[in-house]
Amino acid sequence: MASDSFSINLKDGCYHFSGVLNEFANFEVLKMASDPLRLNLSQLSKMNSIGIRNFLRFLADWGTKEIYYEHATSEFIDQVNMIPSMKGAANQAKILSFNVPWQCLSCDHEDEVYMEAAKVEPLLEDNKELSRTCPKCGKEMSLLVDSFFDFLTS
């Protein structure tokens, strides 16, 4: 399917990734991008290890210039939490917004909620629990991954 192949489209000063980040992903267009680089990841459907390695190579070339990630998928955040260099050569990338995966231990319902770092960070600083009510059964939901917000605090 066409939607599976990786592409990068510039829209309103922001580069939108879409499709599968794999061995065929090409970041050539970003070499001409101006600083700060804004990447929107909402249409990124999947990532494999070779695609991630190629992206890390691009980040190394980009160096210490500013990067913003917007609408990061939860899969992308998982990778950021595992691979520190996903935040750039100087750990400088800022993740402005992302999808947070939740699970309900009462009824097994799982979903993702879009959140902005600017709203989440003050809660984490105050050690306030982020919470979500299950839309199916009304019980309190839990984060699917306990360490999900590590990328904001590390």
Give least dist CB 107 to Zn ion, A: 3
| 3 state DSSP class of 12 | coil
Q: State the residue for tokens 């360490």.
A: 147
Cα–Cα dist 70/38, whole Å: 7
The smaller minimum CB distance to Zn ion, of residues 93 and 104, is found at 104
The smaller minimum CB distance to Zn ion, of residues 15 and 102, is found at 102
The smaller minimum CB distance to Zn ion, of residues 84 and 138, is found at 138
The residues that touch Zn ion, with contacts defined as CB under 5 A, are 104, 106-107, 109, 134, 136-137
